[in-house]
Amino acid sequence: MRLMMIVPNYHCGGMEAVQGPLMNIGPLFAASAALKAGHQVTFLDCTAEDLSIEDCLDRIGRESPDVIGVAARTHLVNEALRIVRHARSRFPKVRTLLGGIHATFMFREMLGECPEADFVITGEAEVATGQLLDALTKGAPLNGVPGLIWRDGAELRVNPPGGPLKDLDQHRPAYELIPNWDLYRNHINGERSAVVQFSRGCVQKCRYCSQWKFWDTWRACSPEVFADEIALLYHEHGVRYFLMADESPQAEAEVWSRLLDALISKGLKDAVFGTCARAKDILRDRELLARYAQAGFRLMLLGAEFTANKTLKTVNKEQRLEDTALAVKLIQDAGMIAMVDIMLGWNNREDEVVQTLENLGGLSADYVCFFWTTPYPWTDSYKELMAEFGTAPAYDNWNFMTFFGKGVDQKRAERELVKFYVRYHFSPSRFFKGWFSGPLPRRKLYRQMFWLGVRRSLVQLYPWLSALLAPKNSRVKAMHYCDPRHRWLAGSNMAGES
């Protein structure tokens, strides 16, 4: 059976604007299972290729798949359903499949809105994808496919979930399906990049986050298998920049230490890794941080989220601002770039935004990335936030770049953020520390990020400069603001994304 995995076209700035086009590896994991089961699979990333619906349909017609599987994360949902509707209209025999975190929690809403969607796979899709294709090939019953939601005439059937995958070594992404690696060149250093995943799940249960609910438990693949995967991408595909999609990869100290050893043994001298990290794991590993850098880790992103310890406790974030500040210093002393994520708009007040900016100076991070509070419907904080924010916007705006509340003028706030960036990064002490201190790899990466940040800030303040300063494949055609009066053209409307 022929399967075509599709990532819908969507651009909103954020991480894409800073780091460049990022591959969605969820469909690649599912595709790997289909390949193992003996099916033919192709991969189409409409975001990376910036394809219209018509372009996408032309590609579907060219490949003639029996089934199209469309990624359906929240911000992609509307575009995913448009692809499904148009594909069914033009190719009546094609079967349509949706998957992803939004599809997992909101499948009834999605299937109710889109009768052209035949199947939804909830949770981790690797096993179910292969079994579904096998059943369709043989004309076998579908009630044994784990986590499958399917239509039985007018009735919706909901199969029991399969549960978390236990052996991640058996389920690795099908990177061999990437047709053109030059689509994923990093904006920071211009090198080919890949999104990789070592572990799944998070050991924290923050009230605003949906990842721990989707993955259920924390698991990692074998460090040696992961290191082999990195070496293959490095040698066979020329990848030099690796962005880890893990929520808390250092959660188990012994497993993480083995991974550092495995990566160091590969001798990938110019490989650059970026990863999330918890402050408590950095504090635990203070004696190992030199090995982090030796293994190629250069960008460490700490989820600081808030600058008020009271708020951190309220949302079940197991850290204090003081912990993050110390972790930042340890990362910098080890020759790496320390970045922090900051969430804005939680209390729906502009004075909170101002206070947050005033508190950030004490962190002394190399870079600060902001994102807006985004109330996903299945999180513990959803009802509380929506009671404060009011009516939710369309799913297109569920992107961390759009603020849903009415208590903050987003456009004005973001212009203040740009001014904050200028004050923060051009302060003499921070400027000279970044440019002239630490080992050469840190200084080089810092300078590359600095000039990229300058360009992004200029585009933010003066949108008409986008055509001159923004890389062509990172320009955003329309800003995403909840208030339609604030739609304007620019290259990005925030500097970072969680």
Report whether pLDDT(93) > 60.
Answer: yes
Cα 25 to Cα 5, 53, 172, 243, 428, distances in angstroms? 11, 21, 10, 11, 40
Amino acid 105 reads F
Determine, yes or no, domain membership for 491: no
Rounded Cα distance between 429 and 53, Å, is: 49
| 54 beta partners | none
Task: Using DSSP, state whether 10 is helix, strand or coil.
Answer: coil
Q: Are residues 206 and 124 in the same domain?
A: no
Q: Are residues 116 and 212 in the same domain?
A: no
Question: Residue 318 — φ and ψ, nearest 5°?
Answer: -85, 60
Rounded Cα distance between 96 and 85, Å, is: 9
- pLDDT, position 124: 94
How many domains, the chain? 2
Q: Are residues 119 and 243 in the same domain?
A: no
Q: Are residues 134 and 261 in the same domain?
A: no
Rounded Cα distance between 431 and 336, Å, is: 16
- pLDDT, position 336: 97
Determine, yes or no, domain membership for 247: yes
Rounded Cα distance between 128 and 396, Å, is: 27
Closest by Cα among 342, 476, 320 to 413: 342
Determine, yes or no, domain membership for 24: yes
Structure tokens at 32: 């790997």
Determine, yes or no, domain membership for 227: yes
Structure tokens at 132: 């579904």
Rounded Cα distance between 171 and 11, Å, is: 29
| Greatest CA separation for the chain | 69
Determine, yes or no, domain membership for 382: yes
Q: Are residues 110 and 213 in the same domain?
A: no
Report H helices in 370-474. Answer: 382-389, 410-425, 428-436, 440-461, 466-469
Structure tokens at 105: 């929690």
Determine, yes or no, domain membership for 9: yes
CA 158 centroid distance within chain: 28
Report pLDDT digits (tens) over 233-252. 999 999 999 999 999 999 99
pLDDT, mean of residues 346-359: 89
Q: Are residues 146 and 190 in the same domain?
A: no
Percent of the chain with pLDDT over 70: 92
Domain boundary among 95, 123, 150: 150
Determine, yes or no, domain membership for 498: no
CATH code, domain carrying 28: 3.40.50.280
CATH code, domain carrying 452: 3.80.30.20
Please name the residues in contact with 430: beta carbons below 8 A apart, sequence gap of 6 or more. 364, 366, 424
Q: Are residues 321 and 366 in the same domain?
A: yes
Report pLDDT digits (tens) over 131-185. 999 999 999 999 999 999 999 988 999 999 988 999 999 999 999 999 999 999 9
Lowest mean pLDDT among 8-17, 79-88, 422-431: 8-17
- pLDDT, position 359: 87
Report whether pLDDT(276) > 60.
Answer: yes
Task: Using DSSP, state whether 199 is helix, strand or coil.
Answer: strand
Report pLDDT digits (tens) over 182-223. 999 998 888 999 999 999 999 989 999 988 889 989 999 999
- pLDDT, position 180: 96
Domain boundary among 104, 129, 150: 150
Report pLDDT digits (tens) over 388-406. 887 766 888 888 888 888 8
- pLDDT, position 456: 73
What range does the domain containing 98 cover? Answer: 2-150
Mean pLDDT for the chain overall:
89
- pLDDT, position 471: 54
- pLDDT, position 412: 85
- pLDDT, position 491: 28
Determine, yes or no, domain membership for 175: no
Lowest mean pLDDT among 14-23, 114-123, 236-245, 278-287: 14-23
Provide the pLDDT confidence category of residue 460 given band limits of 50, 70 and 90: low
- pLDDT, position 24: 93
Report whether pLDDT(496) > 90.
Answer: no
Q: Are residues 76 and 209 in the same domain?
A: no
Q: Are residues 190 and 143 in the same domain?
A: no
pLDDT, mean of residues 256-265: 98
For 365, other C-beta atoms within 10 Å of its C-beta total 28
Q: Are residues 232 and 121 in the same domain?
A: no
Domain boundary among 91, 124, 150: 150
Q: Are residues 254 and 355 in the same domain?
A: yes
Q: Are residues 118 and 200 in the same domain?
A: no
**Residue with the larger pLDDT of the pair 68 and 375:** 68
Side-chain-side CA neighbours of residue 400 (13 Å) = 20
Rg of the chain over all Cα atoms, to the nearest angstrom: 22
